[in-house]
């Protein structure tokens, strides 16, 4: 389980390698909060290397999405596998986040918005 | 114990696999048990073991990579953080077993804490609740129910504690 932050086309991308669960949610949350504090206003969380998320991980995303909206930015999700898409549909969180098939799609959408 | 030995971990107090007399043949054993300290860092160890157990019992890849790890992580974090109130002196006991009939196989995972328990039927919320989307917590029981075929709970056998049982049918 690890998180990697990169900058891509003006956006901040957080790559989640492994599950996002109760054991690492605080590390993930603090990492993203730090990026928001540094001025990130478009943040893409790339789940293409993540097998599953538990309720703690979902809760962290909800909290961060809210924080990002308050800061005038947007938190996007990318690379969800079929299982993770099911999870977001089950919890209706697919209505709360912009979800893209891939990191590239999430970044292209940024360009289109600009 | 050959497949997830980790004697250096202080948060995992015991791991045991056994064969019950008369139980169906299963090279992985038909009953696995763990006792862990109330430390969320021990969760992954138990989840990995139960997933291996499911593989040997023929449960599907989707069950192993999605349903079981999420539901079990929820049950364990509930036991540690709510049941045992994150008190590391309290333990959580987990058993994983498979009941095989001519028609089907059923996975039973019991997670027992040393707490007072909670009403799983009235815990958490529903995606239809007005405040659902903005809530940071409260999805754990909902996910357990959604990803398992059945979830049961009640006082543990013995003097104290509370057990949540996750039930999943092999498909």
Mean pLDDT split into 10-residue runs, chain B, 171 residues? 49 67 54 94 95 92 97 97 94 92 89 84 72 87 95 85 95 84
What confidence tier does A109 reach under pLDDT thresholds 50, 70, 90? confident
Kindly state the tokens that stand for A113: 């918005």
pLDDT at B127 (0 to 100): 78
Closest chain A residue to B142, measured at CA:
A91
Closest chain B residue to A20, measured at CA:
B70
On chain A, the residues whose CB falls within 8 A of the CB of B81 are: 22
Is some CB atom of chain B closer than 8 A to the CB atom of A60? Answer: yes
pLDDT at B4 (0 to 100): 45
The separation between CA A89 and the C-alpha centre of its own chain, rounded to angstroms, equals 16
Counting every residue written for chain B, the total comes to 171
| Residue B142 and residue B124 in contact, taking contact as beta carbons nearer than 8 Å | yes
Option in A51, A53, A92 nearest B127 (CB): A92
Taking an 8 Å cut-off on Cβ atoms, the answer to whether A55 and B133 are in contact is no
H or E element, residue A77:
strand A74-78
Q: What is the pTM of this model?
A: 0.88
């Amino acid at each position: 389980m690890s998180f990697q932050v990169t900058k891509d086309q003006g956006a901040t991308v957080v790559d989640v390698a492994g599950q996002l669960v109760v054991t690492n949610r605080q590390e993930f949350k603090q990492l993203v909060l730090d990026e928001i504090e540094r001025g990130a206003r478009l943040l893409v969380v790339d789940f293409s290397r993540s097998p599953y998320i538990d309720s703690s991980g979902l809760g962290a995303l909800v909290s961060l999405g809210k924080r990002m909206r308050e800061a005038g930015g947007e938190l996007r999700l990318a690379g969800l596998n079929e299982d993770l898409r099911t999870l977001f549909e089950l919890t209706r969180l697919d209505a709360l986040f912009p979800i893209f098939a891939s990191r590239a799609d999430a970044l292209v959408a940024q360009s289109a918005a600009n | 114990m050959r497949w997830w030995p980790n004697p250096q971990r202080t948060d995992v107090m015991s791991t045991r696999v056994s064969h019950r007399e008369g139980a169906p043949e299963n090279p992985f054993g038909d009953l696995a048990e763990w006792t862990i300290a109330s430390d969320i860092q021990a969760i992954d160890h138990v989840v990995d073991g139960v997933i291996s157990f499911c593989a040997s019992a023929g449960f599907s890849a989707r069950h192993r990579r999605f349903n079981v790890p999420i539901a079990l992580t929820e049950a364990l974090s509930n036991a540690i953080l709510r049941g045992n109130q994150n008190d590391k002196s309290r333990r959580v006991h987990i058993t994983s077993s498979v009941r095989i009939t001519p028609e089907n196989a059923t996975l039973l995972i019991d997670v027992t804490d040393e707490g007072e328990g909670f009403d799983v039927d009235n815990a958490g919320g529903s995606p239809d609740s007005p405040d659902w989307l903005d809530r940071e917590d409260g999805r754990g029981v909902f996910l357990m129910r959604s990803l398992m075929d059945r979830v049961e709970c009640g006082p543990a056998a013995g003097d104290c504690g509370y057990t949540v049982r996750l039930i999943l049918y092999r498909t």
